């Protein structure tokens, strides 16, 4: 079975551009999480969806960040406009209810 | 209140040694404590997890020890191997609240020398 799929794997963009990261959770999972990983701040939870509904977005750093989950098999994390400090690895994870979270391979974002 | 503090930041042991990684938390509502293993270029993967109703859990060479009164938990890796070289993260969440929203420790980079 395929695990969590994220695209793109690498993204390099210029400051001010819009960036969209994509995630396909494991089929049958009903919870989806977006995390950000940096050397300085470690792994941070950005937003949590349950049954396609955003439950907690308190980790979203600011209004430049938005996330959507239009259906059970797809989610996006958008940064507009992007800034150099947004450079990080962004992970998507999914789970069935409160059971084990399975992480995707991540998207390495570089904003120049 | 949401912080999970992890130590040490890095650890080097010889093959066969027993690395120990420690974590401490403040939020008494936390009731689920997983450990994740991350290899370079990969996402974290669940290694082992514990609930506070037990003080120890073993899975293969990996053991979690949990001290509820001290609000501390630790990971022991028995008979460590070079293939265990990775970054390890402890985490905590409150499953009784809204979902399994994990708060991660800062990570420990483990190197096991042959």
Max intra-chain CA distance, chain B: 44
- CA dist., res. B37 & res. B26, Å (int): 23
Measured in whole angstroms, how far is the alpha carbon of residue A89 from the centre of its chain? 9
A74 CA to centre of own chain: 11
In the stretch 5-24 of chain B, residues with CB closer than 8 A to chain A read none
Q: Please tell me whether residue B28 adopts helix, strand or coil conformation.
A: coil
* H/E segment holding residue B24: strand B20-25
CA distance A44 to A93: 12
Which residue out of A36, A42, A53, A93 would a mutagenesis test of the B interface target, given it has the greatest number of B Cβ atoms within 10 Å?
Answer: A42
* Nearest CB to A56 within list B98, B104, B106: B98
Q: How confident is the model at residue B98 (pLDDT cuts 50, 70, 90)?
A: low
Identify any residues that bridge with A90 across adjacent strands, giving them in sequence order.
A36, A107
For residue A25, the distance in angstroms to the closest alpha carbon of chain B comes to: 14
State residue B1's pLDDT score: 47
- Give the model confidence (pLDDT) of B43-87 as tens digits: 999 999 999 889 999 999 999 999 999 999 999 999 999 999 999
Confidence label for A1 from pLDDT (cuts 50, 70 and 90)? low
| Mean pLDDT of the B96-104 span | 77
CA B89, CA B75: separation in Å to the nearest integer? 10
Using a CB-CB distance cutoff of 8 angstroms, which residues of chain B are in contact with residue A32?
A: none
Over the stretch A39-88, which tens digit does the pLDDT of each residue have? 988 999 999 999 999 999 999 988 999 999 999 999 999 999 999 999 99
Q: Is A74 exposed, middle or buried (0-12, 13-18, 19+ CB in 10 A)?
A: middle
Residues of A in contact with B32 (CB under 8 A): 98
- A 10 A CB-CB count for B50 gives 19
Give the tokens for residue A46: 């950005």
Non-local CB neighbours of A41 within 8 Å, separated by 6+ positions: none
Contacts A100 to B, Cβ<8 Å: 34, 46, 49
In angstroms, the CA B43 to CA B56 distance is 26
What percent of chain A lies above the pLDDT cut of 90? 90
Pick from B41, B42, B99: CB nearest A55: B99
Distance separating alpha carbons of residues A40 and A91, to the nearest angstrom: 16
Residues of A in contact with B101 (CB under 8 A): 33, 45, 48, 56
**Which residue, among A65, A74, A68, A66, has the nearest Cα to A94 in the 3D structure?**
A74
Rounded to 5 degrees, φ, ψ at B82 are -55, -30
CA distance B41 to B78: 25
**Residues sharing a CB contact under 8 Å with residue B60, sequence separation 6 or more, in sequence order:** none
pLDDT, tens digit, 9 for 90 and up, residues B17-51:
999 999 999 999 899 999 999 999 999 999 999 99
């Amino acid at each position: 079975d395929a695990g969590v799929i994220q695209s793109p794997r690498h993204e390099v963009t210029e400051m001010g551009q819009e960036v969209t990261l994509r995630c396909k959770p494991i089929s049958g999972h009903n919870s989806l999480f977006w995390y950000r990983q940096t050397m300085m701040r470690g792994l941070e939870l950005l937003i949590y969806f349950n049954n396609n509904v955003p439950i907690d977005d308190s980790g979203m750093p600011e209004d430049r960040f938005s996330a959507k989950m239009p259906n059970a098999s797809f989610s996006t994390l958008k940064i507009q406009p992007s800034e150099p400090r947004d450079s990080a690895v962004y992970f998507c994870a999914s789970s069935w209810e409160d059971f084990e979270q399975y992480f995707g391979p991540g998207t390495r974002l570089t904003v120049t | 209140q949401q912080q999970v503090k992890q130590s040490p930041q890095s650890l080097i042991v010889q093959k066969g040694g027993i690395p120990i990684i420690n974590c401490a938390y403040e939020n008494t509502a936390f009731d689920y404590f997983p450990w994740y293993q991350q290899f370079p270029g990969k996402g974290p993967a669940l290694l082992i997890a514990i609930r506070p109703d037990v003080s120890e859990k073993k899975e293969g060479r990996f053991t979690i020890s949990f001290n509820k009164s001290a609000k501390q938990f630790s990971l022991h890796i028995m008979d460590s191997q070079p293939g265990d070289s990775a970054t390890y993260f402890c985490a905590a969440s409150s499953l009784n609240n809204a979902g399994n929203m994990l708060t991660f420790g800062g990570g420990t980079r483990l190197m096991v020398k042959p």
